[in-house]
């Protein structure tokens, strides 16, 4: 329970329940009982409902017993039906217990009028279902003992108890749970403002109900809403209670706008109850909306504070864009990572910073994000820094839509990928190049040859040349492997210098190299390859008079064959060149061999 400390002792709360029930029941019986009938305004169940709804079930017997004592005391003291007081007490307190159970079952005791469903469930349980059940019990039981009209009794009971619960229980529940928002009291002059609002409600109600010539029932609504906006649920529940008490006393005294209605006191009180129900169902949803607004505002402020904290301290760049790509916000990290001052980027279009070849791809991702606000999209691209240099970035983008589904902003987090791209390039080079010469390795060269074979099927010729150094083993054995490595490097440099930009060069074995002459037929490639052979024979290793020669075999890529027969054909040509005395080239015209 969350009652004030003074009510948390085992004996104090039951005593308060017994006393309040006796007092409120006696007042209701004396003031609102029509001649020969039942009380038409029953407020006594309000505090009991709040106590039961917020207490542990094991305390219910004590609280119910205390309320029974209070009810019996009121019946004995002022009721003309004291002989059937136990039946009235059972119906009244059974109604309170049922209402409290329904409030707990529907979790109204936890939400406490913070949403329209919470208010509706409270009305359904405490205002409709519980009074109806107790009214049927009272009508059935008392109808056999007293001269009462069953339907009229049920109607009066339902209305009086339902409206009584509607007026008295909400404020009691708020007090019991200590869920009254106290920020309006802690604010500067908050207590004075709260007191002023309630006094304004009371003063306006007195002015309206202590005159009977004008139908001014609309006037209390204005100060009630002022109290609701100022104190939210406390203002709504407290204001309706004040209007109900003042209006009820005035109506019972024969004063107020209700006197303009033709009918007796019963009709006047019933219309007052209807009026109070309308006030409650007007003010309490407003209070719930205000409560939700405050929680939403607080959540937004917390979210903004977290976002700002992350933006100010994050190592990534955080961007907020308009749907058209205009930069609305950029974090301070852009100065370090992009060399831009954040202020200079506000109002510019983010697409202008993207490297032009990547711009269409990034824009397509942006458009896709606008169409799917519930998803995050990632794209890698190059962007221009303030100094004109290019950098790699990864953007994680998510569109933000409003309640109507319209996208109002796009949030992006940019991460610098320069280091990762460099590592990827290094890994790519390690996987595709020969570590000694820097040429393509065998796997990468064959991949390039396969691409050239696909191009050959579309009429673009290419010729494969396999080059092998003559007597290379003798160089290693005579001068050592260090000299042999220098010879390999000299050949690699020569090949790089003598081939065209579109040609592919690789080291495919120990002393075996390969060249793919792109766009050249075998007839055109042979003299080029031979000039490379002659140039190599004229070179000497640095620091000595050691020369290297090579033999070469050529085969043109034929569309009707696979890649492997072409390599075999070039290898056969190379074998013939070596067999013919080395330091020469040979061609293989027929990949089928022979």
316 Cβ neighbours under 8 A, 6+ residues apart: 331, 333, 337, 413, 414, 415, 416
Q: What is the pLDDT of residue 343?
A: 87
Q: How far is the C-alpha of 473 from the C-alpha of 481, rounded, in Å? A: 9
Dig out the tokens for 360 from the structure: 């269409």
- What is the DSSP code string of 451-514? HHHHHHTTT--EEEEEEEETTHHHHHHHH-HHHHHHHHHHHHHHHHHHS-TT-EEEE-SSSEEE
Cβ–Cβ contacts within 10 Å for residue 78, how many? 16
pLDDT score of 34: 52
Looking from the CA of 275 toward its CB, the CA atoms found within 13 Å total 25
Measure Cα distances from 141 to 83, 87, 147, 164 in Å: 13, 8, 12, 22
Is residue 190 scored above 80 in pLDDT? Answer: no
Tens-digit pLDDT profile for residues 114-124: 888 889 999 99
Higher pLDDT, 78 or 467: 467
Per-residue pLDDT, averaged over 465-472, amounts to: 94
Render pLDDT for 167-189 as a digit per residue (tens, 0 to 9). 889 888 888 875 444 454 455 55
Name the most confidently modeled range: 105-109, 294-298, 509-513: 509-513
What proportion of the chain, given as a percentage, has pLDDT over 90? 44
The confidence score (pLDDT) of residue 3 equals 47
Cα–Cα nearest to 220, from 194, 233, 239, 196: 239
pLDDT at 10: 63
Using a pLDDT cut of 70, give the percent of the chain over it.
Answer: 92
How many whole angstroms separate alpha carbon 368 and alpha carbon 379?
12
**Confidence at 146, pLDDT banded by 50, 70, 90:** low
| The model's pTM | 0.56
Distance in angstroms (rounded) separating the CA atoms of residues 352 and 342: 15
The pLDDT tens digits of the residues spanning 229-279 come to 988 888 898 899 899 889 988 988 889 999 999 888 778 888 888 898 899
Is the pLDDT confidence value at 591 over 80?
A: no
Q: What element of type H or E holds 378?
A: strand 377-384
pLDDT attached to residue 593:
64
């Amino acid at each position: 329970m969350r009652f004030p400390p003074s009510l948390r002792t085992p004996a104090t709360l039951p005593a308060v329940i017994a006393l309040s029930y006796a007092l409120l029941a006696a007042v209701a019986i004396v003031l609102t009982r029509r001649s020969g009938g039942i009380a038409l305004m029953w407020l006594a169940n309000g505090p009991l409902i709040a106590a039961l709804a917020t207490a542990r079930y094991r305390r219910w017997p004590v609280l119910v017993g205390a309320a029974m004592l209070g009810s019996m005391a009121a019946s004995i003291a002022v009721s003309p039906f004291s002989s059937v007081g136990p039946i009235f007490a059972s119906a009244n307190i059974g109604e309170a217990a049922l209402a409290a159970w329904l409030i707990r079952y529907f979790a109204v005791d936890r939400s406490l009028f913070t949403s329209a469903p919470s208010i509706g469930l409270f009305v359904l349980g405490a205002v409709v279902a519980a009074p109806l059940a107790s009214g049927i019990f009272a009508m059935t039981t008392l109808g056999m003992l007293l001269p009462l009209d069953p339907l009229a009794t049920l109607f009066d009971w339902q209305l009086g108890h339902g409206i009584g619960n509607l007026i008295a229980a909400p404020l009691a529940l708020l007090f019991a749970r200590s869920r009254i928002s106290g920020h309006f009291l802690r604010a500067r002059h908050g207590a004075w403002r709260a007191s002023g609002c309630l006094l304004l409600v009371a003063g306006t109600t007195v002015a309206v109900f202590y005159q009977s010539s004008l139908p001014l029932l609309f006037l209390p609504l204005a100060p009630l809403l002022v109290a609701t906006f100022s104190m939210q649920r406390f203002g709504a529940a407290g204001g309706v209670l004040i209007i109900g008490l003042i209006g009820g006393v005035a109506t019972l005294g024969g004063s107020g706008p209700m006197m303009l209605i033709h009918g007796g006191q019963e009709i006047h009180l019933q219309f007052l109850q209807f009026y109070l129900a309308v006030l409650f169902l007007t003010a309490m949803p407003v209070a719930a909306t205000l409560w939700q607004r405050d929680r939403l505002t607080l959540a937004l402020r917390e979210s903004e504070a977290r976002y700002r904290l992350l933006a100010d301290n994050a190592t990534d760049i955080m961007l907020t864009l308009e749907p058209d790509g205009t930069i609305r916000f950029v974090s301070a990290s852009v100065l370090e990572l992009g060399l831009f001052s954040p202020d200079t980027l506000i109002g510019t279009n983010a697409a202008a910073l993207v490297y032009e070849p990547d711009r269409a791809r990034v824009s397509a991702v942006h458009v896709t994000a606008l169409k799917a606000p519930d998803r995050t999209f990632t794209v890698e691209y190059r962007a221009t820094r303030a100094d004109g240099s290019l950098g790699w970035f990864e953007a994680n983008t998510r569109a933000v839509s409003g309640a109507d589904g319209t996208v109002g902003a796009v949030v992006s987090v940019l991460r610098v990928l320069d280091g990762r791209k460099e590592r990827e390039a290094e890994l790519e080079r390690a996987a595709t190049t020969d570590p000694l010469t820097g040429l393509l390795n065998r796997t990468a060269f064959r991949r390039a040859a396969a691409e050239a074979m696909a191009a050959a099927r579309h009429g673009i010729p290419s010729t494969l040349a396999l080059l092998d150094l003559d007597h290379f083993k003798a160089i290693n054995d005579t001068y050592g492997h260090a000299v042999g490595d220098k010879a390999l490097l000299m050949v690699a440099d020569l090949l790089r210098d003598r081939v065209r930009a579109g040609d592919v060069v690789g080291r495919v074995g120990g002393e075996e190299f390969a060249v793919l002459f792109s766009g050249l037929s075998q007839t055109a490639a042979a003299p080029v390859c031979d000039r490379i052979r002659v140039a190599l024979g004229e070179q000497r290793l640095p620091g000595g008079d050691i020369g290297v020669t090579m033999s070469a075999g050529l085969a043109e890529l034929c569309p009707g064959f696979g890649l492997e027969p072409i390599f075999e054909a070039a290898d056969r040509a190379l074998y013939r060149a070596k067999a013919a005395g080395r330091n020469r080239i040979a061609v293989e015209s027929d990949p089928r061999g022979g």
